[in-house]
């Protein structure tokens, strides 16, 4: 957290050294004395060769780009007990559909720890109701046929509230990345699933061995055993060296530090399943698969319009049931809706970027988006959700995962704020 200022200083030092390198003048030659190779106060070498190596090896973004994750507004991360850690993706600054790995959201209830797992020692086991239990090293998994797919992950806690200020606060517990790994179906077929099996239990290697039950039908459909994310190995906060991807299911199913899958013949109600217990099975149903859901990222809460004229309204749409087919925009608080344009490929269980050409007349208005997925299911407004549950809109809390429409209020001075009341 407090590494930022230091990084900044580091950047400036590097810049100065690079300038010296580029000039290659007599003064730079005279600077290459043993004295100048003494490490700087921040521990970084002043040796031009060393600095060049740092600049070449792993790039940094521009110092003018400052977008960062922030903790969930109501809580500290980690919390006062040191266990709950929720940080939000800066969706207001996002472009396209890929979330940079450094900005991908993180949510955990058992420690902000990042287990340090040596990939050469990590093992992944498939056992239970299979003909041939199997253990894989990471190298062995990488020998198998792989796929790369783009999928979002969303936390069940991604729930917009009136007190939230920005789209990072309201919707920042969703992110989208390219995931690379072995289809779980391939691994299960290799092990030979026995008849009578109906569920799998997946488990991580961290302290509490976090574990979830997943229907076998889903496991055989589109789940991935991933080692890659956005073109490089998974980040430690995202489960390095191995994680399970259960596309479209709530975040808690995407088991990090994956070490074991047991094929079983019933629902196990293990460690992470317990939180889904609900008196109403209809509500329980809304805690597994996500969406359809969309949100406008520009103009969104906390942003400032620079005056009347042309703007592209843009945002993200996603569904746990498949691809996004349609996004509509309202600029009059939901009285009329107009088709937006999909600005990115629309992959199954992925964020899709939408855009809508808009001439703002400078008057106060409320902008909102709603999406329809490949099943034809349309994202509801809060009023529609309240009507389904037969509850008054006043003080209504959407049961299960909240996928309702998010309104943003644009004031006549161009200030944008949360339109939820």
Would you count residue 318 as binding other proteins (CB under 8 A)? no
Closer to other proteins by CB, 259 or 415: give it.
259
239, 380, 407, 419: which one contacts other proteins (CB under 8 A)? Answer: 380
23, 83, 95, 411: which one contacts other proteins (CB under 8 A)? Answer: 83
How many residues contact other proteins, by CB under 8 A?
74
Is the preceding peptide bond at 312 cis, omega within 30 degrees of 0? no
Beta strands in 147-254 (DSSP E): 147-154, 174-183, 199-204, 211-215, 224-229, 232-233, 243-245
Half-sphere exposure of 389 (CA within 13 A, CB side): 18
Binding mask 163-202 for other proteins (x = CB under 8 A): --------------------------xxxx--------x-
Long-range own/partner contacts, residues 49-57 (CB < 8 A, 24 or more apart): 51/13, 51/14, 51/17, 51/18, 52/17, 52/18, 52/21, 54/14, 55/14, 55/18
Closer to other proteins by CB, 31 or 73: give it.
73
Please give the Cα distance from 62 to 386 (Å, whole number). 45
Question: What distances in angstroms separate CA 369 from CA 64, 151, 190, 294, 386, one per listed residue?
Answer: 30, 21, 44, 6, 18
Question: What distances in angstroms separate CA 164 from CA 45, 97, 168, 169, 406, one per listed residue?
Answer: 44, 23, 9, 6, 11
Would you count residue 262 as binding other proteins (CB under 8 A)? yes
Residues 105-144 that bind other proteins (CB under 8 A): 109-110, 125, 127, 131-136, 140, 143-144
Would you count residue 80 as binding other proteins (CB under 8 A)? yes
Sole window of 23-31, 47-55, 256-264, 408-416 interacting with other proteins (rule: CB under 8 A):
256-264
8 A C-beta contact, residue 318 and residue 292 = yes
Residues 341-370 that bind other proteins (CB under 8 A): none
Question: What distances in angstroms separate CA 309 from CA 62, 151, 305, 357, one per listed residue?
Answer: 30, 35, 10, 11
Closer to other proteins by CB, 176 or 323: give it.
323
Residues 14-73 that bind other proteins (CB under 8 A): none
Closer to other proteins by CB, 199 or 360: give it.
199
Please give the Cα distance from 28 to 134 (Å, whole number). 59
Q: Dihedral of CA 272/274/278/282: which sign? A: positive
6, 8, 53, 75: which one contacts other proteins (CB under 8 A)? Answer: 75
Closer to other proteins by CB, 20 or 241: give it.
241
286, 313, 317, 340: which one contacts other proteins (CB under 8 A)? Answer: 286
Closer to other proteins by CB, 195 or 306: give it.
195
Would you count residue 321 as binding other proteins (CB under 8 A)? yes
Closer to other proteins by CB, 129 or 410: give it.
129
- The number of angstroms, rounded, from the C-alpha of 92 to the middle of its chain's C-alpha atoms is 14
Would you count residue 393 as binding other proteins (CB under 8 A)? no
Q: How far is the CB of 170 from other proteins (least distance, A)?
A: 17
Residues 222-251 that bind other proteins (CB under 8 A): 222
Closer to other proteins by CB, 29 or 135: give it.
135
Q: How many CB atoms lie within 10 A of CB 26?
A: 8
45, 67, 148, 211: which one contacts other proteins (CB under 8 A)? Answer: 211
Question: What distances in angstroms separate CA 337 from CA 256, 279, 357, 369, one per listed residue?
Answer: 40, 36, 13, 9
């Amino acid at each position: 957290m407090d590494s930022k200022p230091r990084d900044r200083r580091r950047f400036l030092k590097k810049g100065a050294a690079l300038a010296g390198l580029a000039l290659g003048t007599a003064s730079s030659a005279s600077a290459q004395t043993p004295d100048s190779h003494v490490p700087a106060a921040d521990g970084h070498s002043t040796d031009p060769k060393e600095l060049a190596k740092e600049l070449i090896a792993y790039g940094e973004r521009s110092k003018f780009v400052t977008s960062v994750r922030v903790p969930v507004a109501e809580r500290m991360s980690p919390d006062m007990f040191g266990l709950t850690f929720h940080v939000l993706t800066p969706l207001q600054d996002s472009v396209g559909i890929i979330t940079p790995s450094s900005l991908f959201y993180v949510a955990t209830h058992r420690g902000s720890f990042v287990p340090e797992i040596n990939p050469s020692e990590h093992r992944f086991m498939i056992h239970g109701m299979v003909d041939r239990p199997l253990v894989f090293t990471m190298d062995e998994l990488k020998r198998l046929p792989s796929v790369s797919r783009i999928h979002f992950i969303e936390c069940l806690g991604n729930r917009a509230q009136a007190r939230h200020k920005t789209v990072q606060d309201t919707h920042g517990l969703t992110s989208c990345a390219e995931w690379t790994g072995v289809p779980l179906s391939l691994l299960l077929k290799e092990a030979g699933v026995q008849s009578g099996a109906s569920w799998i239990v997946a488990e991580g290697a961290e302290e509490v061995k976090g574990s979830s039950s997943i229907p076998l039908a889903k496991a055989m459909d589109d789940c991935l055993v991933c080692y890659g994310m956005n073109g490089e190995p998974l980040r430690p906060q995202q489960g390095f060296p191995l994680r399970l991807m259960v596309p479209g299911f709530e975040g808690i199913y995407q088991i990090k530090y994956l070490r074991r899958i047991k094929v079983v013949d019933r629902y196990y109600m293990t460690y992470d399943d317990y939180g889904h217990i609900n008196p109403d099975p209809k509500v329980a149903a809304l805690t597994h698969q996500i969406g359809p859901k969309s949100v406008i990222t520009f103009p969104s809460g906390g942003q400032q319009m620079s005056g009347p004229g042309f703007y592209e309204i843009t945002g993200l749409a996603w569904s746990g049931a498949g691809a996004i087919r349609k996004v509509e925009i309202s600029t009059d608080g939901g009285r009329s809706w107009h088709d937006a344009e999909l600005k990115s490929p629309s992959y199954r269980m992925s964020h899709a970027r939408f855009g809508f050409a808009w001439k703002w007349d400078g008057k106060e208005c409320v902008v909102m988006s709603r999406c329809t997925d490949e099943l034809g299911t349309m994202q509801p407004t809060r009023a529609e959700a309240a009507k389904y549950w037969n509850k008054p809109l006043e003080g209504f809390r959407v049961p299960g995962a909240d996928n309702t429409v998010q309104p943003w209020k644009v004031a006549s001075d161009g200030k944008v704020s949360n339109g939820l009341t």
